[in-house]
Amino acid sequence: MLTGLAALALAAGCDSDDPEREPGPPPRPNEAALVAHLSKLDEIARREGGDRAAGTPGYDASVEYVTGVLRAAGWRVQVREVPMELWRERSPAALTLEDAGALEPVRDFRVPSYAGAGDADGALRVVEDACDPADFGELAPGELALTSVGGCLLWRKTRNARRAGAGALLVQTGTSGRGVPSATLAVPGIGLPVALIDRKVRLRSGERVRLSVDAVTERGSTQNVIADNEPSRGPVVMAGAHLDSVPGGPGVNDNGSGVATLLQVAETFGRRRVGRVRLAFWGGEEEGLIGSRHYVRGLSREQRRAITAYLNLDMVGSPNPVPAVYSDGTPRLARLLRRLYPGPERGVLTGNRSDHAAFESAGVPVNGVYTGADERGPGGEPRDPCYHLPCDTLANVDRAVLLRMARTTARALAVLAGRGQAK
């Protein structure tokens, strides 16, 4: 997931006025199969250098695994190329402070994807939230701008800093205790070195700072995996999950949990006649929702109208979970998910932060389930303390909540596909 989502508590419970009923016995995903899929994705990341990010061997191996499972379950599978700009660091970044000396990558700072390459050496200048060009009024050319997260997207802060003549942009984040999470500018080509710095690192205005980023952005591609249980004619219900991880992390909760859920849906449905269902595994979500946006742009008007509902699965096994449905999605789908979820849940404001966004913009009814990223959960602790970090491994998943989310998703798809429409 691109970023943590602000939770909004909503009343839970069943909707006795909802006329939708399950067509026959509900499908029953099981925990052992879910864990087997998660274990395989974790193994792929460990074998292929620590992650499954778009454009890497780990992602290619993930595509191969997913397509094999889907075909074995009897689904019709297509692997579709998606053009994208691939960013990578050629050597580790270096950040040195006059007062504290050299900082350690990941533990103390991290360079976000699509940050520009270059060397910056100059005084630090504290600015406001960097969302307005006027925030840089006191910045001298070549100084390194220092701001904090929030207020606007990271790419906007970076663009404003470059236009103001900054040598680089430093952004202080929260303190996770486990390192600085991976992030992305989402927009290639801004051309300014950027570093995210843990808030525990003390910085002062006027301090001399040196930042070196050795990175390159090249044209390349990733892949979407699209699977149908029946020939592609007439109305279809869709569910999707992004298949890629962040660079430098195995992504077992984010978003192996969503991937495992959809694979179990495919296996549970098998060759049962439940109506038309399409499952999608998106590439490049962590770099800016690239795969899902490309897919929706490529649909004709008739093809868009044929999709009667889209359910999104992005982080559904968080270790300190707060189960939620999308409160800003289609209300009818939210009611259905609440009725099918066996326990209390909340609502979450999702905005355009995951793969449902392109479908919603195209007029497709959307909703989804979610258990949390870096928001505070029970006990005041993060819902996923390993969000976008190397520790997002198999041990980072709450298996009980994942099973409940998987069963809710399977039942919802069976209901929606059985009715043939969801509007």
Task: Give the integer Cα–Cα distance in Å for 313 and 291.
Answer: 15
Which run of H or of E encompasses 238? strand 236-242
89 is catalytic: no
Q: Specify the 3-state DSSP secondary structure of 240.
A: strand
Peptide bond into 255 cis (omega under 30): yes
Instruction: Calculate the CA 94 to chain-centre distance.
Output: 27
Distance separating alpha carbons of residues 83 and 293, to the nearest angstrom: 11
The answer to whether 384 and 315 have CB atoms below 8 angstroms apart is yes
How far apart are alpha carbons 44 and 65 in whole angstroms? 9
Alpha-carbon gap, residue 354 to 336, rounded angstroms? 20
* Active-site residue (options: 285, 286, 345, 360): 285
Please report the DSSP string for 116-147 in residue order.
Answer: PPEEEEEEEEE-S-S-SGGGGTTPPTTPEEEE
Contact 397, 319 (CB under 8 A): yes
Residues 6+ apart with CB under 8 A from 84: 54, 55, 220, 221, 222, 283, 284, 287, 290
Contacts (Cβ under 8 Å, ≥6 apart) of 74: 229, 270, 271
Q: Which helix (H) or strand (E) holds 210?
A: strand 208-228
Strands 346-348, 324-326: parallel, antiparallel or unpaired by DSSP? parallel
- Using CA atoms, how far apart are residues 100 and 108, in angstroms rounded to an integer? 11
Alpha-carbon span 39 to 54, nearest angstrom: 19
Q: Which amino acid is at 112?
A: P
How far does CA 281 lie from the centroid of its chain? Answer: 12
CA gap 366, 213 in Å, rounded: 39
| Six-digit token string for 177 | 């205790």
Catalytic residues: 285
